[in-house]
A and B are shown apart, each in its own frame.
Chain A
Amino acid sequence: MSEAAALDAPPASAGPRAPGMLRALGWAFTAFLVLYILIPVGVTLAMSFNGAAMIRFPIGDWSLRWYEDFFGSAQWIDALVNSIVIALGTTAVSTVAGVLAAWAFQRFRIPFREFWYVLIMLPLFMPGVVLGLGVAIAFGGFQIGDHSLYGSRELVMVAHSLWAMPLVFMLMEATFKTVDYRVVEASYDLGGRPVGTFFEIVVPMVSTGIVSSALFAFVISLNEFVMALFLTDRDTQTLPVLMWLSLRSAGTPRLAVASVILALTVFACLTVIMVWYVRQLRKTAR
C-alpha cells in the first residue's frame, strides 16, 4: 500500500500507523487504563503488608503480621473454607446443568426454543439483591428434617448457580457450535450409542470449554457476596460477607490480607487450569 502511495502523486493521508497525535493519545489512554485497573489491586497488595493497625499512607512498617493474624483467626479461616466449599458446590451444580442444557439445544429440536433459551438466561441479568431476596423469602423458612434451609451452604450454592449456570450454558452453547457434527455422526455410523458418544467423543472435544466455564462458575461463586449476605448466618458466612461486615465496623489491614487471599485462591485455580491446558495441548500435538 505504501508503494502505491509513493507512485501516485497525492500521498495517502493514513499509512499503516496512525498519525502522531493519535498515537500519543493511545499511549496516554493505555497508561490511564493500566493505572485505573491496577490501583485497587496495588493498594490492597501494599496495605496487606502494613505492620500498623490503621489504614493510612505512607506505610512505615512492613510486616507479615496481618497474614499471621488472618491464618490464626478461626472466624476468618472458617469463612474462607465456607467460600471454597460453596464455590465447589456451585461449580458442580452449574457445570453439569449448563453443559447438559447446552448439548440439548445443540443436538435436539426443541419446541419454542427461543422461549426456553431466554428463560434459562434470565437470572443472569437479575441483580444479586433481587435474587438473594427472592430465595431468602421463598426458602428461608423451609425445613428439611432437622435442618433449616436458611443459613445452609446448599441454599447459597443454588442461589449462586442462578448466575453461574446461565453463564456456563452460554459459553458451552458457543463451544458446542464449533464441534464438527460429522465427527459425532461418524461415531453413530460406527455403532456408538448417543450417551456413549456424548461422553467418549463430544466431551473430550469440548474439554477446554467445559473447564473454562467451570472456572468462571467457581470464580463467580467465590467472589459473590450480596446473595450470600442474604442467605448465610454467622456459621456459614463466606469470606466476602465477613469482609463487608468488618468494613462497616472497623477497617484494618486484615481486610487487605483477606482480599489478597481471595485473589490468590482464584489465581491458584487459574494456574492449575493453565497447567492442565498446556499438558493437554502437548499431548495431542507432538
Chain B
Amino acid sequence: MAGRLAHVADCFEGDPKVSAAAAGAALEVERVRRAYGAVVAVDDVSLTVGRGEFVTLLGPSGSGKTTTLRLVGGFEGVQAGAIRINGARVDGEPPYRRDTATIFQSGALFPHKTVAENVAYGLRMRKAPKPEIAERVARALDIVRLQGFEDRFPSQLSGGQKQRVALARSLVVRPAVLLFDEPLSALDLSLRLQLRAEIKRLHDELGFSAIYVTHDQGEAMAMSSRVAVMNRGRIEQIDKPERVFHEPANEFVYTFIGESCRMDVRLENGRTLDPQGRPVELRLAAPLPDGAWRLYVRPSRLKIAGDGEPAPNRLRGTIHFVEFLGDVFRTHVKAGALELFADHPGRLQQGPGDVVDLVWANEDMKAFQ
C-alpha cells in the first residue's frame, strides 16, 4: 500500500508532505484589481498560496471569487496589481504561457477526443515524448480510478466520470497551481460528496498547490488548508477553516458561514424593543449599552428551556411551528417581530402556541452595532 502510494505520488513533483513555508510560494496575488465598467469585480485582493497548500475562495455569487480565479488562470487581464507563479511575474501572459491548469465546472472536455486523448493534450502541447505521454496518461487515469476508459468519448461518460477525466487532464501536466472553478456544483449531492473526498485524498497523496472556488461551505471547510471568504470583490477573512468558523472576523463572515439567528433589537432605558417598537422580554447576562443592535446566535446553540433552568441569556416567545429536518427538529419561535429557530435532536413537549424561553450562553452570542 505504501509502495503504491509512493509510485502514484511519483506523478507529481515534490515531496507530498511539504509545508507551505518551504521553498517560496507557488502563487502570489498582489493587490489585484479588475472592474467591468462601473462594477468592480475584484477590489485590491491579495493572497499567497504556498507549495502544497489548498486555498479555497468562498463567497456568494458576485463576490469576485471566480473572477479572481480567472485572473490567475489568464482568462481575464488584471487592471492593477501583480500575479506571480513560482516567483515569476505572469499577469501579462495568456493562459497557454502560464503554468496553471484549470478544472472547469462543466469539465470542458474535448468532445471529439477520447479520454486518453483529452488527458494527453496538455503533455502534447508541452512537447513531451510519446512514450512518456503514454505512461503518464496511464498513471493519471489510474490515480482517478478510470483505468480502462481510455477509448471512451465524453458523451459516453457520466457527470462524475467527466470530472475525473478533467482532474486527470489537469493533474498530468504537473502545473505549479491547480485551479478549480466550482467543479462540483453541477453534480448531485451524493456524487458531490464522493468527488469531494476524492479530491481531498488526491491532495493528501500528491501535495499539489491549488486554488478552489466554491459557494458551498461544506466543501470549503472539508477540503482546505485555508479558506478565504470573499464578499463584493474583497477578502473578508483568510484563515484555517476552524478559525474562520469559530472566530469570524466580521459580521459578514459570521453570517455567511453556518446558520445563525438574528435579533434586531433596540435597547432603551432598560427596555428592549423589536424593530416595530414593541417591547420583548430579553434578558442579557452581560448588559449592552443603549442603541440599535444586531445579535446573532447559532440555532444549534439555542435551547428551549425547561422551567426554572438557569440561563445567562433568555428570550421569551411563542412557538410558531416545528419542522422535521431529518437530524433535528427545528422549532420556530416568534417574539414580537423577532423570528428565531432552535435545533433539537428530539421532539419537544411544547408545541405551536406554547410560550417558551430560548436560552443561550454568552460565548455563543455575537453582537454588532
Binding site for B on A (CB under 8 A): 180, 182-183, 185-193, 196, 201, 204-205, 284-286
Contacts and interface: CB of A to CB of B under 8 A. Distances in A.
Interface stretch (B29-37, B100-108, B282-290, B359-367): B100-108
Contact of B111 (A187, A189, A190, A284): A284
7 contacts: A180-B106, A185-B75, A188-B74, A189-B73, A190-B125, A284-B153, A286-B153
B121 A189 contact: no
Q: Identify whether the interface residues of A are mostly helix, strand, loop, or mixed.
A: helix
Contacts of A284: 111-112, 153, 155
Nearest to B119: A190
B108 A182 contact: yes
B194 interface: no
A201 B118 CA distance: 11
Interface residues of B, number: 27
B156 interface: yes
Given A183-B108, A188-B96, A189-B102, 7 more contacts: A185-B104, A187-B121, A188-B95, A190-B96, A191-B122, A193-B96, A284-B112
A136 to B, nearest CB: 44
A190 B156 contact: no
A183 B100 contact: no
B173 interface: yes
B4 interface: no
Nearest to B99: A191
Nearest to A183: B108
A284 B114 CA distance: 9
Contacts of B169: 186, 190
A207 to B, nearest CB: 8
B167 interface: no
A163 to B, nearest CB: 31
Nearest to B181: A182
Interface in B68-125: 73-75, 94-96, 100-102, 104-106, 108-112, 121-122, 125
A183 B156 contact: no
Given A192-B125, A285-B156, A185 B108 contact: yes
B154 to A, nearest CB: 9
B246 interface: no
